[in-house]
Amino acid sequence: MQKRQVEDHRYHKIQFLLSCSRMKLSDPISSLRGTNSKQRAVLEVMGLTTVRDLIFHFPFRYEDFSVRIPLSQVEAGMEVTVVAKVERLASRHAFRRRLSLTEAFLSDGQGTITAVWFNQPYLSKYVRAGETYRFAGKAVQTKYGLRLQNPVYGRESLGEAAMTGPVSPFLPVYPSSAGLTQFVLRKLIRNCLSAVVDLRDHLPEGVIDGYGLMSLSDALRSVHFPEVIGDQTAARRRLAFDELLRIQLAMGRTRRYRESRRAQAVTFGREAVLGFVEGLPFKLTDDQRRAAWEVIRDMEKDMPMNRLLDGDVGSGKTAVAALAAMNAAAAGHQTAIMAPTEILALQHYRTLSAMYAAGGLKVALWTNSYHRSFADGEDRERRGKAESMALLSEIASGEVDVVVGTQALVEPSVSFASLMLVVVDEQHRFGVRIRQLLCDKGSADGLEPHLLTMTATPIPRSLALAVYGDLDLSVIREKPGGRQPIKTKVVSPRGRQAAYGAVRRELEAGRQAFVVCPLIDSSDMLGVTSVTEEHDRLVGEVFPDYEIGQLHGRLPAAEKEEMMRRFRSGEIKVLVATSVIEVGVDVPNATVMCVEGADRFGLAQLHQFRGRVGRGEHQSYCFLFPANYGTAVRERLSAMEATDDGFVLAEKDLALRGPGDLLGVEQSGQLSELKFASVADMDLVRDTRVAAQSILEDDPELDNHPVLREFIGESVREAHLE
């Protein structure tokens, strides 16, 4: 009885000490007790400088010690949790290894074992002979017998309240660094959770109850020190909800801010647009027609359009953009189309020039290397300073209807008479600042231009809602008719010669082939094929009787253009290139795509490569040559054989590789901060979207939710996650 009273006294003393050291989230770690200067220095290097940082420093896994077994059943190699009495405690030095050893000889009435700790002489302060503790660790067979090496422990009578290193059934393991043990991290985080006084729940009670969520304080305690597996599952769901809700609220506020701005409404130019559609050499798909109508309806409003055109490879996004530009031109306004590369800009310029040839629109190309214009069937190179200045004057005066270019369009020298529509292709390649600079060229008298952005690859719906929820979305899944499905094959090392035979048959039939390599130059360290070495090998060993060219980003613009001209004309039969040909290359006579080092590319990018062929009337082929032909690689690449639906492949890519391959650096950087949420979780994305809409509908400025407003940040984001 007296012994129990002593334990109770110790427990209440601990609680009293904690209550006397109340902390705020903003308190610096220097105010924490139980840390020395070296440990604080390590914490600061890890970016943990405040109490808030520690509380929101989450474990990346747990060691499961929930199942206890008697000592008689412990065997070498087992991760175990035991409850045992310390019969004797001893400390000594192992001089050969310059180690201090602390040994506890344990028994539970059914068996015995020795627990050993290295270089932890302070343990004698916490572990005492005659007391019963909970120990968790790995059993190791040594020449001295079975040992528990460096087990974590806790006073069984005090349970989770013990400050001497209590053992949770699921022991958290944190990202750490040399000089900071898991023991210290657990102690610090537990103390912070017990002592923090200003941890307020930012979610409204209605949201917590409506979605069956944990409170924030319960979620934090459960994610760090769960008692049962269900605790940490529920805690992670609450924290994941917070992460996605934060994004959805920020985007919702952005959308509301955009809806408060004004643009000049563009009357539907029915006659011009229908005439343009009838003059196209192909029939628009139903998806294209629907997307085009959505764009036209947006342009009729006095609120600036901000629409994302999400389409599969080869689905005809450019035609929709061209139709929108025709609608703007019919009302006397200009369009700027910005692409990330000169190759893609040049391709758009050629495509639009052909589309508008009968409609009388004047098209210009403006990049660092190309200054050209097309009008009345004539394509003119605007060489020299005088010609370039003349072209800029034509753009500034409104004589040019559609200007295609790269980032060079945002230069101060480029101005417009009436920029009404901005189209950004592969929008993930541009930061918000560049897009805004281009839009600013069309802003006047408080009115802004309409903005249409286009994706390079299909974006899964859950990702689109999570990342682009502030935009209106048009989806084009349908492919133009008359095209044959591309036959795709993942080629084993043994099958390479057979694949080359198939390529040769296409070349003999007068067709052409692409070969894509991951690198420009060879690299022994990476062990993958490069453009230069593959070009030399194909010329010398595989196709010596055919003209083979090479294309990569280090070539001067003039050489790249000449190489593409020769390939388009059919003079070059095989083009070896880097991913520079991923977009903007349209050669209908090319029927073969070979990808070396295919395992180094995501499915979405491989689908982009494959989309460079299959654009003509002939059957096309795609051969994937992985550098690593292991089982996991074959299983992943087999998806390319199974489907040519880019949306299906994008979903698989999202599940396998995350959103990085599908988004730009800025958007990916924001999503990389998600610790618990997955943008592939459609149900959670949908729930947080609905919750955000409900909150903002009742309280647009979050004046009645100050803690929530502080949680998402005061700034209204001007673009998706940037």
pLDDT single digits (tens) 278-328: 999 889 999 999 999 999 999 999 999 999 999 998 889 999 999 999 999
CA angle in degrees (0–180, nearest 5) for 37-221-208: 135
Q: What's the rounded Cα separation, in Å, for the pair 82 and 66? A: 10
For residues 373-401, average pLDDT = 93
Residues 60 and 173 sit within 8 Å (Cβ to Cβ): yes
Tokens, residue 272: 């011009």
Other beta carbons within 10 Å of 636: 21
- From the number of C-beta atoms within 10 Å of its C-beta (0-12, 13-18, 19+), residue 508 rates as exposed
Residue showing tokens 């003209």: 547
- The residue type at 185: L
Other beta carbons within 10 Å of 565: 11
What is the pLDDT at residue 715? Answer: 39
Query: Is residue 124 over pLDDT 50?
Result: yes
Residues 126 and 34 sit within 8 Å (Cβ to Cβ): no
Segment among 5-19, 216-230, 511-525, 645-659 with least mean pLDDT: 5-19
The pairing of strands 145-155 and 112-118 is: parallel
Residue showing tokens 């220097």: 30
Residues 84 and 69 sit within 8 Å (Cβ to Cβ): no
What is the pLDDT at residue 105? Answer: 95
Query: Is residue 722 over pLDDT 60?
Result: no
Per this entry, what is the length of the chain? 722
Residue showing tokens 């359009």: 305
What is the pLDDT at residue 719? Answer: 37
Confidence of residue 616 (pLDDT cuts 50, 70, 90): confident
What is the pLDDT at residue 62? Answer: 85
Tokens, residue 296: 């036209």
For residues 17-36, average pLDDT = 76
354 vs 713: which has the higher pLDDT: 354
Q: What's the rounded Cα separation, in Å, for the pair 447 and 433? A: 19
For residues 347-365, average pLDDT = 92
Sequence-separated (6 or more) residues with CB below 8 Å from residue 274? none
CA angle in degrees (0–180, nearest 5) for 403-407-410: 75
Q: What's the rounded Cα separation, in Å, for the pair 81 and 66? A: 7
Q: What's the rounded Cα separation, in Å, for the pair 219 and 243? A: 13
Segment among 195-199, 468-472, 530-534, 542-546 with least mean pLDDT: 468-472
Domains (range + CATH), the chain = 1-60+184-199 (no CATH), 61-173 (2.40.50.140), 204-260+681-691+702-722 (no CATH), 264-476 (3.40.50.300), 487-643 (3.40.50.300)
Query: Is residue 191 over pLDDT 80?
Result: yes
What is the pLDDT at residue 708? Answer: 92
Q: What's the rounded Cα separation, in Å, for the pair 459 and 380? A: 37
How far is C-alpha 512 from the geometric centre of its chain's CA atoms?
35
What is the pLDDT at residue 166? Answer: 47
For residues 636-654, average pLDDT = 91
Helix (H, G, I), strand (E, B) or coil at 655: helix
pLDDT in tens, 213-236: 999 999 999 999 998 878 889 999
Task: Report the candidate in 663, 654, 661 with the shortest Cα–Cα distance to residue 609.
Answer: 661
pLDDT in tens, 225-276: 998 878 889 999 999 999 999 989 988 888 888 888 999 999 999 999 999 9
How far is C-alpha 273 from the geometric centre of its chain's CA atoms?
38
Confidence of residue 183 (pLDDT cuts 50, 70, 90): confident
Q: What's the rounded Cα separation, in Å, for the pair 329 and 333? A: 5
Give all strands (DSSP E) within 359-405, no chain letters.
363-366, 371-375, 378-381, 402-405
Residues 113 and 139 sit within 8 Å (Cβ to Cβ): yes
Tokens, residue 526: 């990476």
Sequence-separated (6 or more) residues with CB below 8 Å from residue 16? none
What mean pLDDT, rounded, does the chain reach?
A: 87
Confidence of residue 585 (pLDDT cuts 50, 70, 90): confident
Sequence-separated (6 or more) residues with CB below 8 Å from residue 380? 372, 373, 374
Q: What's the rounded Cα separation, in Å, for the pair 636 and 603? A: 8
Tokens, residue 593: 């795509």
For residues 428-450, average pLDDT = 88
What is the chain's percent helix, strand, coil content, to nearest 5? Answer: 45, 20, 35
Task: Report the candidate in 605, 589, 706 with the shortest Cα–Cα distance to residue 646.
Answer: 605
For residues 583-608, average pLDDT = 90
Q: In DSSP terms, which residues pair with 28 in a beta bridge?
A: 50
Q: What's the rounded Cα separation, in Å, for the pair 144 and 377? A: 92
Q: What's the rounded Cα separation, in Å, for the pair 697 and 716? A: 16
Q: What's the rounded Cα separation, in Å, for the pair 92 and 109? A: 27
Handedness of CA 403, 404, 410, 411 (dihedral sign): negative
Confidence of residue 12 (pLDDT cuts 50, 70, 90): very low
Full DSSP string of 153-178: EEETTTGGG-SS----SEEEE----T
Q: What's the rounded Cα separation, in Å, for the pair 593 and 486? A: 10
Query: Is residue 714 over pLDDT 80?
Result: no
Residue 376 zone, left/alpha/beta (φ > 0; ψ -120 to 50; rest): left
Residues 115 and 151 sit within 8 Å (Cβ to Cβ): yes
Segment among 1-5, 121-125, 134-138, 345-349 with least mean pLDDT: 1-5
What is the pLDDT at residue 204? Answer: 95
Confidence of residue 164 (pLDDT cuts 50, 70, 90): very low
Residues 528 and 625 sit within 8 Å (Cβ to Cβ): no
Task: Report the candidate in 312, 213, 212, 332 with the shortest Cα–Cα distance to residue 272.
Answer: 332
Residues 689 and 255 sit within 8 Å (Cβ to Cβ): no
Helix (H, G, I), strand (E, B) or coil at 670: helix
CA atoms within 13 A on the CB side of 69: 14
What is the pLDDT at residue 720? Answer: 41
Tokens, residue 289: 């027609």
Q: What's the rounded Cα separation, in Å, for the pair 623 and 492? A: 10
Segment among 117-126, 141-150, 491-500, 605-614 with least mean pLDDT: 117-126
What is the pLDDT at residue 473? Answer: 92
512-516 β-sheet, strand order: 487-490, 621-625, 590-596, 512-516, 574-577, 548-551
Span between the terminal Cα atoms of the chain, in Å: 63
Residues 431 and 267 sit within 8 Å (Cβ to Cβ): no
Sequence-separated (6 or more) residues with CB below 8 Å from residue 395? 334, 364, 366, 403, 414, 415, 416, 417
Residues 186 and 35 sit within 8 Å (Cβ to Cβ): no
Q: Give the CA distances from residue 691 to residues 78, 217, 610, 684, in Å, rounded to whole numbers and listed in that order.
A: 46, 20, 40, 10
Residues 663 and 428 sit within 8 Å (Cβ to Cβ): yes
14 vs 339: which has the higher pLDDT: 339
Task: Report the candidate in 288, 654, 291 with the shortest Cα–Cα distance to residue 459.
Answer: 654
Confidence of residue 661 (pLDDT cuts 50, 70, 90): low
What is the pLDDT at residue 160? Answer: 39
Q: What's the rounded Cα separation, in Å, for the pair 240 and 213? A: 11
Query: Is residue 4 over pLDDT 50?
Result: no
